[in-house]
Amino acid sequence: MIRSDRRSFVKSLAAGAAAAPVLSLLGPLRQAFAADLERAGLATHTRGSFAQLRSAYMLDPKVTYLNHASIGTIPTAVFDARSRYQELCEKNPWLYMWGGAWEGPREEVRAKAASLLHCKASEVSFTHNTTEAFNVLAHGLPLGRGDEVVFSSLNHDGASVCWSHMAPERGFTVKRFQFPVSDVPQLTKADILNLYDEQITSKTRVLVLPHIDNMVGLRHPVRELTELARSKGVEFVAVDAAQTVGMMSVDVHGMGVDMFAASPHKWLQAPKGLGLMYLSESVRERVHPMWVTWGQRRDGWRGTGRIYEDYGTRNLAEVLTLADAIEFQSRTPPVEREARLRELWEYTHRRAMEHPRTEWRSPHSWELGGSLYAVEIRDKNITEVSEWMFREHGIVFRPFRSQELNTARISPNVFNTEEEIERFLRLATG
Ligand SMILES: Cc1ncc(COP(=O)(O)O)c(C=O)c1O
């Protein structure tokens, strides 16, 4: 089939002509996933059943996994759902990749992702990760001489390097200011707002910030910071939500931001290599796609988040599985999830505060934190501790060792236990 034929075939499917029999292929797969959840007793997850939830994953029993912030582990049921899509695809790869069979299901996934983020489906693009989304923005925004992009040293490289890379070519400047990491435990919301207020100037056109940063887990007051930025004339507010989507409820429209990027392979426990990007309608009009091919001019796609997607061959099985990952996570009511993550946070905070050999380096208030926190072990090199703990005890956490930090970043999920945290603390301080 030549390209124009292929496109008109896809179009006819999208218009519904041949969609019904093709779409119905997905029904049994979705039912198989629902049956897997029922069989494994995963109808709903509540606090009483979180410890048993670990058996719903393929984690090595010898591993104590306290590093969900680096990369998530996908539930067996979600893994199986992905394998089923892949198997179906392999029966007739053309049909699923180019023949349009998964056109409708892909849009169902987009709608599901949009309701998770609290935005419209047309505002969501499927990227591969957060880093890609920031590259799309840095390449596509109309910035030039005299413009300034501002972010702090808490910003992850994935949301930072793209700006420095583009700056010399376009002539804009990048201001990366030093965040007072040592003060983080005591900071209040007002302090955080002041810190940003001091850095935003009349030249600032873009403000980039993490929703929760990956080092000390400071939860930024995004709505208030966005209001502050707007009041000072900032045009674009871009938020790195790699650590929050799946960890906590998010409301993109409520925050009023222009861009919001996530990596569902972390807290949503979706297959690796699938990202989400929200771009507000007004910003979409001004951001040129980073790569272009036949789809950017298609009716129905033009002007939507789809124009930022790469139309080359990609692994659609992963995209479809995002719906199952969201479904799996939705079996835990958000209040139950937050209550459990907070319980683990309170336990670790209390134990780290009372132990003479540890120091808590994250916010003292849960409202300004999340399920990733930094604990310093006095007089020890944390990189060596982490290597030893993994080698000898199978405990996985992320060490941070720099001029400012020598900390263990602990990032538990709901199925982690107080006993696991206690074991980590005992071994680390022993
Ligand atoms: C806050 C934050 N932003 C961005 C990233 C980059 O994520 P990805 O590799 O999925 O692009 C990470 C990864 O750890 C992160 O923690």
Ligand 1: which residue has its CA nearest to atom 4? Answer: 158
Q: How far is the CA of 5 from the centre of ligand 1 (A)?
A: 39
Q: By the 8 A CB rule, do 320 and 106 touch? A: yes
Give the closest residue (by CA) to ligand 1 atom 6.
158
Helix (H, G, I), strand (E, B), or coil: what is residue 178?
Answer: coil
Q: What does the pLDDT read at residue 26?
A: 76
Per-residue confidence (pLDDT) for residue 224, from 0 to 100: 98
Among the residue ranges 15-24, 70-79, 236-245, the one predicted with the least confidence is: 15-24
Cα–Cα distance measured from residue 89 to residue 113, given in angstroms and rounded to the nearest whole number: 22
The residue contributing the CA closest to ligand 1 atom 7 is 130
Q: What is the Å distance from ligand 1's center to 131 Cα?
A: 7
Helices (H), 40-75: 50-53
Backbone angles phi, psi at 57, to 5 degrees: -120, 170
Q: Global pTM?
A: 0.93
pLDDT of 340 above 90: yes
Residue 368 near residue 381, CB atoms below 8 Å:
no
The torsion angle over the Cα atoms of residues 178, 180, 184 and 190, rounded to 10 degrees, is: -90
DSSP string computed for 18-48: THHHHHTTHHHHHHHHHHHHHHTT-S---GG
Residue 1 has pLDDT above 70, yes or no: no
Residue ranges of domains in the chain, CATH in brackets: 334-429 (3.90.1150.10)
CA-CA-CA-CA torsion sign (59, 63, 67, 71): negative
> Measured between alpha carbons, how far is residue 345 from residues 207, 243, 367 in Å?
30, 16, 11
pLDDT category at 25 given cuts 50, 70, 90 is low
pLDDT surpasses 70 at 266: yes
Mean pLDDT calculated for residue range 296-314: 92
Mean pLDDT for the stretch of residues 263-287: 96
| Whether pLDDT at 134 is above 90 | yes
Flag whether pLDDT at 29 surpasses 90: no
Asked if residues 162 and 138 have their Cβ atoms less than 8 Å apart, the reply is yes
CA-closest residue to ligand 1 atom 14 = 70
Alpha-carbon distance values, 255 to 137, 189, 250 (Å): 19, 15, 9
DSSP 358: E
Measured by CA distance, the residue closest to atom 13 of ligand 1 is 70
Coil, strand or helix: which one is 330? helix
Check whether 10 has a pLDDT greater than 80: no
Which is nearest to 382 in space by CA: 407, 357, 403, 405? 407
CA of 294 to the centre of ligand 1 (A): 30
The pLDDT confidence band at residue 13, using thresholds 50, 70 and 90, is: very low
Query: Among 212, 160, 223, 211, which residue's Cα sits nearest to residue 373?
Result: 212
Q: In the chain, count of helices (H) and strands (E)?
A: 17, 13
Distance (Å) from CA 96 to ligand 1 centroid: 30
In the beta sheet, which residues pair with residue 176?
151
Q: Which residues form the pocket of ligand 1, taking CB atoms under 6 Å from any ligand atom?
A: 70, 129-131, 156, 158-159, 210, 213-214, 240, 242-243, 263
64 C-alpha to center of ligand 1: Å? 22
